[in-house]
Amino acid sequence: MSSQGLTPRNEDYSKWYNELVQNADLADYAPVRGCMIIKPYGYALWEHIQANLDRRFKDTGHENAYFPLLIPESFFKKEAEHIEGFAPELAIVTIGGGETLAEPLIIRPTSETIVGYSFSNWIHSYRDLPLLINQWANVVRWEMRTRLFLRTSEFLWQEGHTAHASESEAQDETLQMLGIYEDFARNEAAIPVIPGQKSEQEKFPGALRTYTIEAMMGDKRALQSGTSHNLGQNFAKTFDIKYTDRNNELQHCWTTSWGLSTRFIGSIIMAHGDDQGLRMPPRLAPIQVIIVPIFKNETEQSQVLASAHLMRELLKTAGVRVKIDLREGLAPGFKYNDWEMRGVPIRLEIGPKDLQNNTVALARRDITGKAGKQFVARDSAVQMVLNLLSDIHVNMLQQATAFRDANIHMVEGDYEKFKEIVVDAWAYTWFCGRAECEAKIKEDNQLVSRCFPLKQEPGSGPCIVCGDLSDRRAYFAKAY
């Protein structure tokens, strides 16, 4: 890990981000352009994201399965809107075993097509519904402009795929999964996302409706952090997913898909990070407490390390993810900065004076300097750590919410003011949602709508572009 400091965020946010990902040991660049190597610390964070989401999926009746990486090209050509949307991003295999393939194979950019094929074979009767499947996998989308975690040609994700007997059931599923993403982001990652519906222009190719959770990053840009799609009957008709209903009549299913990827790690970095490095949300942090022993000689070393190991076992027993920094030849100050860079929520220091006083020092990552440090009795340290982990989550969520709310501005019918706001903030305004209005906003401001939030204030007002009466407001912002 580099011992160098980070470029300040207000000086060059993009450079700060790139330096942080590597200095915090999250990921590295791969030899293939646009791909990334996720290092153990970054993958441990992804594992905690997986575990928290997987539990929620299973609690709502979903089961994990796995579908092939290679998909026949003909599958994509069956759904015109779907292939048109993904065509520029496809990676195609044309040679296998040294011979030209009879049919090219697509390296999956998403699995609606192969899932549709499978569902058509699995579903026969209303008794087979609903079918609730999730897959943890990698996907490939050939990206021209890449950035670690945020936009890479290969990334990890989960993709849910479900089939239902009615449109209302599919819609309920779509919104339920959006709610799970919102709950996860807020209650595990301390990110106050905004759930909403995408415009017709920004919805998933082939979907009836697309919903999203949108998060504000530290540079005030938006990040689409998870999506849920009501696919209607488009894919069911394309892949002949039918069932016999209770009246013994043949019907097409209604399907959904929903996904959250390693892009969410980018959301955590940019929603919480500061000029000292990462700030890990405690409930997802790979290491929640780092113990730094302090000593000058062998006698002090043996006594301090004995106390450190005992404290580690007590914390582990209490369910805390804890590690002792036993690296040799490094000053305590270097270790403090190192773990601040990695964003560990709590640093616990033990030295000879602490042994004499029967205390330990606890330093919070979310509050820097003396204000975030306190000395506590060793006997009460475990309970204090548990309390602090809870307090840190609450504080981080409050900080992110305050920052978000301070940088969202409501605009009423003044397009020039709208253009000024979206240079460096979010605009919230009446919007008709028509393609020509979205296109003008994109041309004038190099951005599109983020979402129509699910929670709408009653009333109506003039669309920010055309002036026609609209009963929905939308968020607009530059985005990753």
What's the one-letter identity of residue 137?
A: A
pLDDT at residue 4, rounded to an integer: 61
Residue-wise pLDDT tens digits, 246-258: 999 999 999 999 9
Q: Which amino acid is at 367?
A: I
Has residue 2 got a pLDDT over 90? no
Phi, psi of 68 (to 5 degrees): -60, 150
Nearest Cα to 137, choosing from 206, 185, 69? Answer: 69
DSSP 7: P
How many whole angstroms from its chain centre is CA 283?
A: 14
CA neighbours closer than 13 Å in the CB half-sphere of residue 337: 12
The contacts of residue 91 (CB under 8 Å, 6+ apart) are: 106, 107, 109, 140, 142, 153
| Position 152 confidence tier, pLDDT thresholds 50, 70, 90 | very high
Dist. CA 409–CA 220, nearest whole Å: 12
Span 342-370, pLDDT tens digits: 999 999 999 999 999 999 999 999 999 99
pLDDT at 3 over 70: no
In this prediction, residue 372 carries a pLDDT of: 98
193 pLDDT higher than 70: yes
Contacts of 43 (CB under 8 A, 6+ apart): none
Each residue's pLDDT tens digit, 410-469: 999 999 999 999 999 999 999 999 999 999 999 999 999 999 999 999 999 999 999 999
CATH 3.30.930.10 for domain 13-272, yes or no, is: yes
Give the pLDDT of residue 80. Answer: 72
Q: What local confidence, expressed as pLDDT, does residue 87 receive?
A: 86
Please, what is the average pLDDT of the chain?
A: 96
**Cα separation of 273 and 280, whole Å?**
8
First to last CA, the chain: 27
pLDDT of 130: 98
Q: What is the mean pLDDT of residues 21-25?
A: 97
Task: List the chain domain ranges.
Answer: 13-272, 289-388, 408-476
**Domain 408-476, CATH number (from 3.30.360.10, 3.30.930.10, 3.30.110.30, 3.40.1440.60):** 3.30.110.30
Percent of the residues in the chain that have a pLDDT greater than 90, as a whole number? 95
Contacts of 421 (CB under 8 A, 6+ apart): 409, 411, 427
| Three-state secondary-structure class, residue 190 | coil
Closest CA to 113 of 166, 68, 50, 165: 68
Task: Identify the pLDDT of residue 85.
Answer: 78
% residues pLDDT > 70 (the chain): 99
Phi, psi at 433, each rounded to 5°: 85, 0
* Mutual angle of helices 263-272 and 381-406, in 10-degree steps: 90
pLDDT value at position 168?
98
pLDDT digit string, tens, across residues 205-245: 889 999 999 999 999 999 999 999 999 999 999 999 999 99
The pLDDT, as a whole number, for residue 78 is 87
Who's near 453: CB < 8 A, 6+ residues apart? 194, 195, 196, 473, 474, 475
The Cβ of residue 330 has, within 10 Å, a number of other Cβ atoms equal to: 12
Residue 69: phi and psi, rounded to 5, are -70, -35
Q: 81 pLDDT exceeds 80?
A: no
Local structure of residue 8 (DSSP, 8 states): P
Q: Are 178 and 211 in contact (CB under 8 A)?
A: yes
Q: Within 13 A of 249's CA, how many CA atoms are on the CB side?
A: 3
d(CA 78, CA 237): 10
CA distances from 365 to 225, 312, 384 (A): 24, 19, 15
Q: Is the pLDDT of residue 298 over 90?
A: yes
Q: Looking at the DSSP assignment, which residues form a beta bridge with residue 426?
A: 408
- How far is 116 from 236, CA to CA, in rounded Å? 7
pLDDT digits (tens, 9 = 90+) for 323-346: 999 999 999 999 999 999 999 999
pLDDT higher than 50, residue 120 = yes
Q: Rounded to 5 degrees, what are φ and ψ at 196? A: -165, 180
Say if residue 130 is preceded by a cis peptide, omega within 30 of 0.
Answer: yes
- pLDDT of the residue at 144: 84
pTM: 0.96
Instruction: Please tell us whether the domain made up of 289-388 is placed in CATH 3.40.50.800.
Output: yes
- Tens-digit pLDDT profile for residues 274-289: 999 999 999 999 999 9
